[in-house]
Amino acid sequence: MSLKIRKNRSVAPPEQCVLTECMAIIAGAWAPNVIWHLRAGPRRFSELRLDIPPVSAKVLSQRLKELEARGVINRTIQPTTPPSVEYALTALGEKLVPALSAIVDVGYKLKMGATGSAVPSQAVD
């Protein structure tokens, strides 16, 4: 005897699913790391490279361009000699920080096991 397929009783997502839109932003390789390191304030490209050692310059550059195109970060050219560029979170990018913090908290709980104590995400860098 086979099991009967149960009807899904959850409300259908809107046509343009907002979860899919949000996940498209943070699902890119290294995008969450970039957002995480910009949460404390603007950073230059070289500083982000030091913050995220495994990322290559090419991938970091691509991720920064994608995040800027999606309105998550701002790119500001500083009037210095030579000119430097700083990246900072936009208001939209700031709204992603609590979501990433929650993901980090769950990650600690998964890593520590159900009975372990998790380190608060604000203390993690």
User: What share of the chain in percent tops pLDDT 70?
Assistant: 86
Fill in the DSSP letter of residue 122.
Answer: G
Rounded distance, CA 124 to CA 120, Å?
Answer: 7
Q: What is the CA radius of gyration of the chain?
A: 19
Task: Give kind and range of the element (H or E) at residue 74.
Answer: strand 73-78
Cβ neighbours around 46 below 10 Å, total:
11
| Confidence check: pLDDT of 4 > 60 | yes
Cβ neighbours around 102 below 10 Å, total:
11
pLDDT of residue 122: 52
Per residue in 25-70, pLDDT (tens digit) is: 888 889 999 999 999 999 999 999 999 999 999 999 999 999 999 9
Rounded distance, CA 1 to CA 43, Å?
Answer: 61
